[in-house]
A = this chain, B = another copy of it.
Amino acid sequence: MLDDIDSTSGKTFTYVIQSLIVLSLVTFSIDTLPDLSPQTREILSLIEMITVGIFTIEYILRLAVAEKRSEFVFSFYGIVDLLAILPFYIASGLDLRAIRIFRLLRLLRILKLVKYNAAISRFRRALGIAKEELLLFGMVAGILLFLSAVGIYYFENEVQPEHFKSVFHSMWWAVTTLTTVGYGDMYPITAGGRIFTFFVLMIGLGIVAVPTGLVASALSQVRDEDTRAQQT
Contact = CB atoms under 8 A, between A and B. Distances in A.
A161 to B, nearest CB: 7
A114 interface: yes
Given A29-B166, A216-B214, A122 B133 contact: yes
A229 interface: no
A209 interface: yes
A201 B48 CA distance: 31
Nearest to A186: B183
A64 interface: no
A118 to B, nearest CB: 6
A201 B182 contact: no
A214 B209 CA distance: 11
A114 B140 contact: yes
Interface string A107-132: 10010011001111011000001101
B167 A29 contact: yes
Counted per complex, copies of this chain come to: 4
Contact of A123 (B104, B133, B154): B133
A217 to B, nearest CB: 4
Nearest to A22: B146
B209 A212 contact: yes
Contacts of A201: 175, 179, 181
Contacts of A209: 209, 212
Interface in A157-185: 157, 161, 165-168, 172, 175-177, 179-185
A73 interface: no
Given A187-B185, A201-B175, A119 B135 contact: yes
Interface stretch (A37-45, A75-83, A84-92, A219-227): A219-227
Nearest to A221: B220
Interface in A86-106: 101, 104
For the complex of A and B, the 7 pairs showing the least CB-CB separation, nearest first, are A213-B216, A181-B182, A184-B184, A29-B167, A217-B220, A119-B132, A119-B136
